[in-house]
Amino acid sequence: MCGIAGIMRTADSARGNLGETVGRMIATLVHRGPDADGVWADAAAKVCLGHRRLSILDLTAAGAQPMHSDCGRFTVSFNGEIYNHLDIRKTLEAENAAPNWRGHSDTETLLYAVRHWGVEAALRRFIGMFAFAIWDAREQTLTLCRDRFGEKPLFYGWIDGDLVFASELKALSAHPRWSGIVDRDALTSFMRYSYVPAPWTIWNGVRKLPPSSFAVFTLREKPGDFPRPTQYWSMRDKVVSGQGERLRDPVQATDELERLLSQSVTRQSLSDVPLGAFLSGGIDSSTIVALMQKQSTRPIRTFSIGFAEAEFNEAEHARGIATHLGTDHTEMIVSPSDARSIIPNLSQMYDEPFGDSSQIPTHLVAALARKSVTVSLSGDGGDELFGGYNRHVWGGRLHARFGTLPHPVKRALALLIALVAPEPANSIGQLAGKVLPRRFRLLRAGDQLAKIGRIVDSKTLDEMYRRLSSIDDEPASAVVGGNERASWFNDEMVNVRHPIDPLDRMTLSDALSYLSDDILQKVDRAAMAVSLETRVPFLDKDVAEFSCRVPPDMKVKEGQGKWLVRQVLERHVPGHLTERPKTGFGIPLDDWLRGPLKEWAADLLAGERLTRQGWFDAARVQSRWQEHLHGTRNHGAWLWNVLMAESWADRWVKPARAASLN
């Protein structure tokens, strides 16, 4: 895991020394690579690559970057891990395409795979997480590449005649001619999703490279032009083809999923530094930990955090699973003050607005793990591939139930539900939970009812699911002068031209955007802020392609999501340790905004401030703020988006403004 940055200059100009500029860029990424740095420049071609190194494989100088092929044609700056690189080395050797290996790093394997097969064919062979830039001195091309799900970030854009790229946006701002202009359309999309969806970023003229793609730039590029990225793998195509290749035997499917996940865990446990795992006590992380421990001859290191608020505390569940599996477990109970102390750092950590409040516990557990290990495996990806969210369980059923009702009836029902205040309903739900079977309990019944009210008048499944996945159904009403534009995943969903099962359509939508642009970016920034590498076994190429063949009734069955994953887990952990409602990895945001965060939030949401800045409709924000304070409605997630945008603006757009958390 590392940080990369670089420049390809396409116009003659005295804009300063390339090496010095790239040096300043990678200096902003020291948290991603505290062990070493490197800058390489080709003065004639006006290309410069920079690298910050977090040493994981081959800790010697043989793994240093930027790295050159022995023929001098290729130079690469690489962030990530190629888990099957030893297998690729054997193939290169069998095909007489291997060099005299200098070391055992996957970066060296990457160089010679590209030399032998070319960029696209090599990418198809790689199983891993990565973002890299590779310069071809013969063809005079710079190619930017990203892994299948976008586990590793890669941003690129134009500053004058310089094509610039980096692992994080803050590196681009170190360019001497940087003058960032906020993209209000991107801000509008942020208000819907709590993240800016690819390929857009918060800055005009800067983009994210979409997952599973590469983009090729030449010295003939016109500043401001963006060549269309090429996809080398498509989750959409795998889901479509999987409709005709369904698995039929549940036992065989369980055997195969366990085999593939075990293989992935083995691949991702390759490390020359200490390794452990996050353990929340949920289905996904427990499955990964169980398979890790099965392969280990000694207790593996596991880490979890909990909160004093019982509704958000999963520490005891994680502790029970750790005890059963015999892991070397570390847990920390987080006080509200511990969690709130992270908030002032979020805008630096996530250098564009990011509103998933689970960023806070994710960073805390990463910081806890980093005290003992340098690499940690996680259970992310299981929900999106195997149908684990509550909306996967209820979405298709709700659409089938409400879709046939006359539109006036649906509108009337939506208005009726809107009259129900969430907090009393939440309390009633908690009381009912004491008598209902555990699998049917709804911890936030009022909030769930409000969500149903938002979707009952949807005309199509896609419209319904978009509302279920949105924080704001009308974000253009919140952002002054903002309009949404189509994102990469919207285009991918439009291009699903074959009929697919509704559950497959929902999970595909999540895998293409929510997983890549929210979950994986949250984990990357939260962990890399403390120089911790995270790995995601569920996103192994073979596991992901297998998930596309799993029929809906092996994903959601009898009101439970991730049925097939549960079958694997039950071979290692008894059901009573994991059988409980899905809660997510969150904080008591609604209550904190009415309590300990109230003063801080009130400052950032002040009408005068919002009006002066001109981004948000101040009256709309104030109305929702007052409704939230009085408990009429829970607007915590929506307000958190505004707060994260405002605190980000204080850090990156204008001088910092005092907003006390005390």
Which tokens belong to 466?
Answer: 């978009």
Where do the structural domains in the chain lie, given as residue ranges? 2-232, 236-386+517-577, 394-505, 589-652
Residue 81 three-state SS: strand
What CA–CA distance (Å, rounded) separates 476 from 184?
10
Residue 456's closest CA among 388, 510, 404, 501?
404
Predicted confidence (pLDDT) per residue in 588-601, tens digit: 899 899 998 999 99
Write down the mean pLDDT value for the chain: 89
pLDDT at 325: 97
pLDDT-wise least confident of 226-235, 330-339, 536-545, 557-566: 330-339
Residue 330's closest CA among 360, 373, 387, 283?
373
Predicted confidence (pLDDT) per residue in 209-245, tens digit: 999 999 999 988 888 899 999 999 999 999 999 999 9
pLDDT bracket for residue 450 (50, 70, 90):
low
Q: What is the CATH number of domain 2-232?
A: 3.60.20.10
pLDDT at 581: 62
Q: What is the CA radius of gyration of the chain?
A: 24
Predicted confidence (pLDDT) per residue in 129-161, tens digit: 999 999 999 999 999 999 999 999 999 999 988
pLDDT at 435: 44
The answer to whether the CB of 41 falls within 8 A of the CB of 6 is no
pLDDT bracket for residue 206 (50, 70, 90):
very high
Answer with the residue of higher pLDDT: 56 or 294. Answer: 294
The answer to whether the CB of 74 falls within 8 A of the CB of 68 is yes
Phi, psi of 36 (to 5 degrees): -165, 165
The answer to whether the CB of 284 falls within 8 A of the CB of 379 is yes
The answer to whether the CB of 456 falls within 8 A of the CB of 417 is yes
pLDDT at 422: 57
* Chain length of the chain: 662
pLDDT-wise least confident of 238-252, 462-476, 535-549, 563-577: 462-476
Residue 170's closest CA among 153, 184, 188, 194?
153
pTM of the model: 0.91
Judged against a pLDDT cut of 50, whether residue 22 lies above it is answered with yes
Give the number of other CB atoms < 10 A from CB of residue 382.
Answer: 26
Distance from chain centroid for Cα 524: 7
pLDDT at 338: 85
**What DSSP assignment string belongs to 4-55?**
EEEEEE-S------HHHHHHHHHHTTTTT-BSEEEEEEETTTTEEEEEEE--
pLDDT bracket for residue 410 (50, 70, 90):
low
- Classify domain 236-386+517-577 at the CATH class level: alpha beta
Give the number of other CB atoms < 10 A from CB of residue 574.
Answer: 12
Residue 106's closest CA among 124, 133, 79?
79
Predicted confidence (pLDDT) per residue in 338-353, tens digit: 888 999 999 999 999 9
What CA–CA distance (Å, rounded) separates 426 from 422?
6
Answer with the residue of higher pLDDT: 444 or 30. Answer: 30
Peptide bond into 537 cis (omega under 30): no
Distance from chain centroid for Cα 309: 26
pLDDT-wise least confident of 313-322, 426-435, 467-476, 505-514: 426-435
For the chain, what percent of residues have pLDDT higher than 90?
70
Answer with the residue of higher pLDDT: 448 or 19. Answer: 19
The answer to whether the CB of 218 falls within 8 A of the CB of 525 is no
**What DSSP assignment string belongs to 552-618?**
GGGTSBTTBS-HHHHHHHTTTS-GGGT-S----S---HHHHHHTTTHHHHHHHT-HHHHHHH-SB-H
Answer with the residue of higher pLDDT: 269 or 492. Answer: 269
Phi, psi of 316 (to 5 degrees): -65, -35
The answer to whether the CB of 30 falls within 8 A of the CB of 38 is no
Answer with the residue of higher pLDDT: 613 or 409. Answer: 613
- What average pLDDT score do residues 303-331 get? 86
β-bridge partners, 302: 277, 329
- Pairing assessment for the beta strands 2-9 and 162-166 based on DSSP bridges: antiparallel
pLDDT at 56: 80
pLDDT at 397: 76
Predicted confidence (pLDDT) per residue in 418-448, tens digit: 666 555 545 544 444 444 444 444 555 556 6
pLDDT at 407: 65
